[in-house]
A and B are shown apart, each in its own frame.
Chain A
Amino acid sequence: MKTDVLKVERAEVDEDRRTIERAVQSEYKYGFVSDLETDEAPKGLNEDTIRFISGKKNEPQWMLDWRLRAYQLWLKMEEPLWANVKFEPIDYQDIIYYSAPKQKISLNSLDEIDPELRRTFEKLGISLDEQKRLSGVAVDAVIDSVSIATTYKEQLAELGIIFCSMSEAIQEHPALVQKYLGSVVPVTDNYYAALNSAVFSDGSFVFIPKDVRCPMELSTYFRINAENTGQFERTLIVCEDKSYVSYLEGCTAPMRDENQLHAAVVELVALDNAEIKYSTVQNWYPGDKEGKGGIYNFVTKRGICKGINSKISWTQVETGSAITWKYPSVILKGDNSIGEFYSVAVTNNHQQADTGTKMMHIGKNTRSRIVSKGISAGFSNNSYRGLVHIGKTALNARNFSQCDSLLLGDKCGAHTFPYIEVKNQSAMVEHEATTSKIGEDQIFYCNQRGINTETAVALIINGFAREVMSQLPMEFAVEAQKLLAISLEGSVG
């Protein structure tokens, strides 16, 4: 009699587990390839490749010198091996470092965009001109190595805001670029940053002048399209005194069997009283169910709160990429500055994520807050790796970190590597972390109220990630919620 009851219970548990497993099965919806004519650099990396890229963009000599110096330094560096990820070594000579959809002249209006290209963006759900009319978000679209279009430029220019592609900025605002490029992430920072410095092809440049509050969200959409290419974009955002900007970034790539490399660098500079809010929804192709293909996302993101009372906030929703290696950081140099990091990282199938943040407290009364939520499913591994450093000069520094992991299934892994270094007695540092699964009691509670298991799982996951999701700007929050739903298909009702 008793064994029967146990059997029934066991069956129910198994059923729940199966539902969870079903709920986390997903298909990648952005895996199509657009048939665009492209202009490519020959495969491989040497000084000529760099000269080719620089020449294509008609860059001034200083920029070329900067790239070549980075290349020389890169040659002497070693790939970092400390991350909790495993992959076959990358053959850096087997990558095309520059690929651009063929387009003759610079465009005057969006109507001139190649219709195939435009269809690509419509498929991605970012119809460039519709977006322009409706949502009030300025978009910079980057395909493979170049920026295709930037919307809302004129309106922003009236306020003195510069929002353009990096190539354009190098041509038109060389003084600003020279001053800030590499000031937050130096060329020698790490292996991938050095590589990026040598071969970066495009990216966005944002400059918000003094006392200006950017009236709309600025957004860049990245898309890898061509085969065998790597994407190396470079983004630089500078906020002068008392200015504010909210910047969004999204990315997708086609389904391919081979791994493609994405090594971007993002630098943020916030001067006195400035605030930068940087949100990412990362949805590169994660590879298929067997872990074949997918993007290697090796990104260096760092911001510096240079001025007093400045604030930098990173929000990220990481659902894609075969491997993620990404630590958006904040250097809290100005007194009273604030750094924030909100992250949801979802890994499924054979994905691997090693992500987190660094908060470097240097100024007095600096504060930082870290909220990281990891969800692992399938055979994936999800690591949080963070550093909170309170220097000798950082009087009354304050940090709170929280990293929670949710495991869906018994073949995935969750890891936490928080480093805390304190050299000042006035510091207050707190760190807490938990790991859990979706409780049978939670599901039972929902079932009892007429909510089926699938919806219940969705509800619970949504609730788990809510704290981070609520940090996203409205326009993105919807997309991010959808993404979470796609990544863990069927889970969001």
Chain B
Amino acid sequence: MLLTKDRKLKSKINTMNTIENIKEQYQQLQSANGSSALTSIEQKAFTAFSNMGIPTVKHEEWKYTRISSLFNKDFQFAPGRLASSFSKSDFDALHLPGFENANEIVFVNGVYNEALSLIRSAAISVITLEEASKNEHSTIVSTHLGHSSQYNKDGIHALNTAFVKEGIFLHVAKGKVTEHPVYIYHVTDARVSNILSQPRTLVYVGEAAQVQLVETFITLGNSESFTNQVMEVVVEQDAVVENYIIQNDAAHSHHVTTTHFRQIGKSVVHTVTITLNGGIVRNNLDMVMEADRCEANLFGLYFLKGTTHVDNHTIVDNVNPNCLSNELYKGIINDQGTAVFNGKIYVRQKAQKTNAFQSNKNILLSDHATVNTKPQLEIFADDVKCSHGCTVGQLDEEGLFYLRSRGISFDKARSLLIHAFAKDVLEHIKPVAIRAYVEQLICERLELN
């Protein structure tokens, strides 16, 4: 028996209501639906979930983020059958700016709502994963669905995969540049009770195709919501994918999002993750560069208030030579906010001539704010350029003094400096409407107008 760091830290399975409920749902769904191509994936994941349970702080990847206590609460979970009064008029109030020109995909309580969704681009098709596993896309589904579980070995990820049939398959046709961005809304209708939702998406971006994805999370009502979302994106040769995640949900909404990119051909991926509000938020972002000469840009901004807890875990895995990755995460933490950052860069032995850069910068604005950051490099090739850096500090005193000496109040000066700090990340949001929207949110927070 070898002693390895990878030996699984088994966490005890909570015997709480929510977990029991989930298990019951699973059994019911399995017997109701009969078996299909996806059944074995679900079964494997469910066994993994039963063995591992919800990760506790003893799990190295969850050292600073405590989600197991959430499962002590009573969350309603009934994939596909949970009644929701969420209507078109409810949705009308939730559109992101620029929606007139966008494809819209709506999930309500984790389930794709076809009636509310609208696909404008001919290059894009959306079907359920169940369907996709039976038609001409079946090889794509069988090859790529569930790949993210190799990078997220924990119970919460397995839990999503155990209900994968409810997910959707988004296909971007070969050689097409989609002019309309794709807005993905994750709506949780918690007006009646606490809701657990588990959206699942597999995106396939064909050769030389281009697409912009914008994801946002919305909780309705005053009950708590918990969204455990997984999106896997397969990127083919010469494709360009942009992905924006905007999290400005209520303080009683919790999220675990996993976004998993698999670059199987020379391609470019550009991501920006913005977190402005929420309860406990955990974002996993994996960038697996399986082809030569891939490029990836990972940007993130978290601006926290209240007791929001944000945990960004990123993985950049360089498998093949000549790849480039650029990562910049910036954070401003106020009140009792807690920010966690863990950035991993792996450079495999074959991945010579890799350039991988990573930086994490944090500003603490309050005495009760906490930052835990861990920029991690694991390198097995010698001809590489890798660097990482992280800082934790305050606003520049000289900058503040400069502004104050010109008659600007302390609060205003502070806001201006924070705004400038955030700008480095905001300018990487390419859809103009979305950038303006996020800027607006930040300016409101800073009372700058």
- Using CB atoms and an 8 Å cutoff, list the residues of chain A in contact with chain B: 79, 81-84, 86-89, 390, 392, 405, 407-437
Nearest-neighbor residue (CB-CB) of B352 within chain A: A410
B379 touches A407 (CB 8 A): yes
Stretch of B27-35, B213-221, B384-392 at the chain-chain interface: B384-392
Interface residue B406 (Cβ < 8 Å from any Cβ of A): no
Closest 6 CB pairs of A and B: A425-B364, A407-B382, A429-B392, A432-B389, A437-B382, A416-B377
Stretch of B96-104, B229-237, B261-269, B367-375 at the chain-chain interface: B367-375
A86 touches B4 (CB 8 A): yes
Complex alpha-carbon distance, A241 and B265, angstroms? 65
Partner pick for B390 among A84, A423, A431, A434, CB 8 A cutoff = A431
B392 touches A433 (CB 8 A): no
A432 touches B377 (CB 8 A): no
Complex alpha-carbon distance, A435 and B22, angstroms? 46
Interface residue B7 (Cβ < 8 Å from any Cβ of A): yes
Interface residue B86 (Cβ < 8 Å from any Cβ of A): no
Partner pick for B3 among A79, A413, A431, CB 8 A cutoff = A79
Q: 10 A-B contacts, Cβ less than 8 Å apart?
A: A83-B5, A89-B3, A405-B377, A420-B390, A423-B370, A431-B388, A431-B389, A433-B377, A433-B389, A435-B377
Interface residue B1 (Cβ < 8 Å from any Cβ of A): yes
Max chain A C-beta neighbours (<10 A), residue from B1, B60, B380: B380
B379 touches A420 (CB 8 A): no
B374 touches A417 (CB 8 A): yes
Interface residue B378 (Cβ < 8 Å from any Cβ of A): yes
Complex alpha-carbon distance, A436 and B387, angstroms? 9
Please indicate the chain B residues that have their CB under 8 angstroms from the CB of A412 in the complex.
Answer: 380, 382
Interface residue B2 (Cβ < 8 Å from any Cβ of A): yes
Complex alpha-carbon distance, A208 and B386, angstroms? 45
Nearest-neighbor residue (CB-CB) of A434 within chain B: B387
B379 touches A435 (CB 8 A): yes
Please indicate the chain B residues that have their CB under 8 angstroms from the CB of A437 in the complex.
Answer: 382-384
Please indicate the chain B residues that have their CB under 8 angstroms from the CB of A415 in the complex.
Answer: 376-379
Please indicate the chain B residues that have their CB under 8 angstroms from the CB of A432 in the complex.
Answer: 387-390
Complex alpha-carbon distance, A405 and B390, angstroms? 17
Max chain A C-beta neighbours (<10 A), residue from B366, B372, B382: B382
Interface residue B36 (Cβ < 8 Å from any Cβ of A): no
A414 touches B3 (CB 8 A): no
Please indicate the chain B residues that have their CB under 8 angstroms from the CB of A408 in the complex.
Answer: 382
Q: Given A410-B352, A411-B349, A425-B366, is A416 in contact with B388 using a C-beta cutoff of 8 Å?
A: yes
A435 touches B386 (CB 8 A): yes
Complex alpha-carbon distance, A418 and B387, angstroms? 13
Nearest-neighbor residue (CB-CB) of A415 within chain B: B378
Complex alpha-carbon distance, A405 and B373, angstroms? 20
Please indicate the chain A residues that have their CB under 8 angstroms from the CB of B5 in the complex.
Answer: 81-84
Interface residue B407 (Cβ < 8 Å from any Cβ of A): no
Interface residue B291 (Cβ < 8 Å from any Cβ of A): no
Complex alpha-carbon distance, A420 and B374, angstroms? 6
B365 touches A425 (CB 8 A): yes
Partner pick for A414 among B374, B379, B394, CB 8 A cutoff = B379
Q: In the complex, what's the smallest C-beta–C-beta distance from B75 to chain A, in angstroms?
A: 30
Q: In the complex, what's the smallest C-beta–C-beta distance from A361 to chain B, in angstroms?
A: 12
A434 touches B7 (CB 8 A): no
Interface residue B443 (Cβ < 8 Å from any Cβ of A): no
Nearest-neighbor residue (CB-CB) of A89 within chain B: B3
A410 touches B381 (CB 8 A): yes
Q: Given A410-B381, A412-B382, A421-B372, is A429 in contact with B391 using a C-beta cutoff of 8 Å?
A: yes
